[in-house]
Every structure is written in structure tokens, then in C-alpha cells.
Structure 1
Amino acid sequence: MKDWVTSPDKTMAPRWKGKAAEAKALAEPMSKIVSQLRSSLIESNSRGLLSGCSVLLPANPEQTELLNSACFGRPIITTDKDNQWFQLSLEEALYLCSVIECIKIVGENKYIKNNEELWHYMTSKKANFPILFKAYSHLRTKNWVVRAGSHYGVDFVAYRHHPALVHSEYAVIVLSHEDGNRNGRLRVWSDFHCTLRLCGSVAKTLLVLDVSKNGNGNGDTSSSLDHYSVEERIVTRWNPEQSRENQTAVV
């Protein structure tokens, strides 16, 4: 039996890494860190470079610290201590470029790509990019830290704050019935059973984000995302020993 819940924040307490971790997270909320990063990137007129299925973003020492703190991209090891490069996923790059609007992205010819050019490029690299990006931006705008979930057999994992301070709480699978659920996830009960057991073994709750299209927007443009909505569903295993009250029923 599966139990569907629609309010993620009410179902699991965060597992902090150490006694001081929660206090540190409260003192430096993720929204504040992202805001500082945004200001710094805008001030320096930062530009990322398209590179296959990722975007390479140069960063000065301040931006390096902020990108690490905000959990965007992964640093690339270089010998230059004053100039760091970060490898951003396509979802991360488009979020920084089109949602919080703090970087520009250029191609090999150094020409700045507009949103529609980026959209066509990124959708050509990932067939399911639209729903993945919609899910990624949905969680990020709620100040969840979102990282790739391939190690756990899911699309993303979501953290309440920096992974150095807290364990990830949710294993996220993104579904869309608009395209016939082309990734074939969670179609039968055995899929649910296997995924739930895996999530349970790594102490995570399964969060399903169902991306649906509303209206007749053209799916070939970035503006089409305005016509999509996201429904959050948590899948948990029912514990038959749970009781609504501590009292034994009178028979």
C-alpha cells in the first residue's frame, strides 16, 4: 500500500550533521547566500561558456565561496588560485541565466545566447530537459538545494541546506504524463516497491514531482514553462502499527 502526502515539510525532520549545524544554517539561510551570489555575478557581468552538456563559469575567490555555499556547479581543479572554473549542469546554468538572471551564456563564438537559443540547445542535449528544468527550478525557488540523484537511481536529491550541514531529505523523481511518461518510471507497483526500498535504505523520502501542461503553450520555447504546473507527492510505506490515538479502542 502506498500513502500519498502533498506537504513535504510536514513529514520529515532534517538530519543535521553535528550539534552546531542547525544553528549555522539558521544564521545563514540559503536564500541569503543565493542573493549574495546573484549580486556578485551581476556586478562582474559573469558569462558562462557552453560546453557539451554543461556550462563552464569562471569565478573569482568571492564567487567561488558563494557558488560552493549555494551548491551551484562543481569546481574544476586548476593551478590558478585567483581564478576558478565551475562546471554547471544545464539545469543550473539556465536557472542562473533565466530565472534569477545573474549570468549570460555564450557559445564557442563568444556570442551571447538569448533564452530561446539556449532552450533549443539544451532541449537538443536532453529530450526530457523541459520537465527536469521545471522540477529543478520549482525546488530551487523554494530554497531547497538540488543535486543530481543518479547515485540513488532518481533524478534529483533535495537538501534543506548545504550538504556539509544536513543529509538530503528527499529522493526526487520527475514524471510527466503529457509525454506519456517516456522515462517509464513508477508505472507499476513493482517500480514503487523497489524505489521505496532503495529510498528507505538510504534514509530518504520519495518525492514525486508530476509536471503537467496547462493550456496550449508551444513546448518549443522557454516561455512554454509558464504553462506547466508541478504537483508534489510524497510516497511512503504504511506502518500498520501506527495509531491515530494512544488509547486502545473499546470493543
Structure 2
Amino acid sequence: MILRLSLEEGFFLIYAMNCIEIYDGSQKLSIEQCWNLFSNADPNFIKCYIIYHHFRSKGWIVKSGEKFAGNYILYKNGPQFFHATYIVIIDTENSASSDKKQWKQILPIIRVAETCKKEVIIARIITHGITSFEGVKTPMNLSSVSVHETLVQRWFISDK
């Protein structure tokens, strides 16, 4: 059987759940080999995995948020049971863009979320003892980062 997973989903099932194995030809890959392979395949893998792992560990079903202009969307029990509750935008504490530029990118996502009856979470990766989240060279370094969630809502005040 062929199962198609995102890199984050696959790594979570290897590392956190220990329920699948990944092979390169006939050779089974270790957790570290998978981490290196996935990190080299996608330059955003580490930051995406940190956020993916954070929300999966909290019990959310995490899926791609591209359809809603975000990084991820979060489901309570899965897409077959409910609509997604949140759109997640990944942010890093050493983000090079200015606050004004970031808000110009976030405001349209908030409007999309409101139209789709979802809320927006900005998930910021905070590093501890390393210079950036890219300092997470192995999955064993995941304890060097944490995630801060900010719920963003658009308020409309009527004069009625």
C-alpha cells in the first residue's frame, strides 16, 4: 500500500509515534537520517515540523493551509468530521521582515478566515540557547525551541 504524507506528517509518525518505517531502497532509515533527508529536501522543513509537532502534540489534526493562505489548518477530529477551526501562520522570532510588512500579509488571511468561519493563530517559534530555529540540527534539539500562540481576530464595530 502506498501512503502519501507530507514530510512533517511522515516525520511525526516516525519520531513521535514510532509507528512507521521509511526505507531508501532496501535500507531502513534512522530518525536522524530521515531528519537530514527531509531538512535537505525542504529548507522550511524544520520550522514547519516544529509547528506541526506542537499542534499534533496538543491533539489537533494538522493539514496544509495553502487553500486558506496559511501554513496549516487545524481540525478537532479530522476533516471528515468537522470543518477546520483555525488557520495557522508560522512566524519566527528572528523574522527579518518589518512588523508593517507582516501585518500587510496577515490582514488578508484574517479576512479569508472570517469569510470561512475560522480563526487565525500566529505560531511564533521561540529559541532557547540557540541562535535560531535552524540550530535544531537533530530532532533531539527540539527542546531548544518553544511555540508561542497568538490568536488574531478582526473586530467590526457597528454604530447601530
TM-score, normalising length: structure 1: 0.57
**Is the aligned partner of 1:206 residue 2:127?**
no
Structure number with higher relative contact order (C-alpha < 8 Å, ≥ 6 residues apart): 1
Does the 8 A contact of 2:62 with 2:75 survive in 1? Answer: yes
Letter in structure 1 aligned against 2:56 = R
Distance 2:24 2:96 in 1: 32
Any idea what the Cα deviations from partners look like across 1:205-229, whole Å, max 9, x if unmatched?
Answer: 0111101111138422222212110
SS at match of 2:152: strand
- Residue 171 of structure 1: how far off its partner (Å): 0.6
- Give the superposition deviation at 1:174: 1.0
| DSSP 3-state at the match of 1:87 | coil
Say whether 1:162 aligns with 2:78.
yes
> Would the alpha carbon gap of residues 118 and 185 (structure 1) be closer, same or farther in structure 2, given more than 3 Å must change?
farther
Structure 1 stretches of 4+ with a deviation exceeding 4 A read none
Q: Give the whole-Å Cα distance in 1 for the aligned partners of 2:20 and 2:44.
A: 24
Structure 1 vs Structure 2 CA RMSD: 2.1
| SS of structure 1 residue aligned to 2:77 | coil
- Who is 1:111 aligned against? 27
What is the rounded CA distance, in whole Å, between the counterparts of 2:126 and 2:102 in structure 1?
A: 20
Match of 2:65 in 1: 149
Deviations 1:94-144 (A, max 9, x none): 001011111221112x21111221111111111111111011111111111
Q: Provide the residue aligned with 1:140 in structure 2.
A: 56
TM-score between both structures, scaled by the size of structure 2: 0.87
Tell me how far apart the structure 1 counterparts of residues 96 and 76 of structure 2 sit (CA, whole Å).
28
> If you compute each CA radius of gyration, which structure gives the higher value, 1 or 2?
1
> 1:185 deviation in Å?
9.5
| Distance across 1 between alignment mates of 2:67 and 2:29 | 32
SS at 1:173's partner residue?
A: strand
- Where does 1:1-251 land on structure 2 (aligned, <5 Å)? 84-108=1-25, 110-178=26-94, 180=95, 187-216=101-130, 218-240=135-157
How many residues align structurally?
A: 155
Percent of residue pairs bearing the same amino acid type: 25
Question: Secondary structure of 2:153's match?
Answer: strand
Amino acid at match of 1:235: V
CA distance in 2, matches of 1:136, 1:155: 10
Unaligned segments of structure 1, at least 5 residues: 1-83, 242-251
Alignment check: 8 A CA contact 2:68 2:109 kept: no
Change (3 A) 1:166 1:181: farther
CA distance in 2 between partners of 1:186 and 1:234 (Å): 18
Cα gap change, 1:188 to 1:156, in 2 (>3 Å): closer
Cα separation, partners in 2 of 1:189 and 1:216, compared to 1, 3 Å: closer
Q: Deviations over 1:8-58 (max 9, x none)?
A: xxxxxxxxxxxxxxxxxxxxxxxxxxxxxxxxxxxxxxxxxxxxxxxxxxx
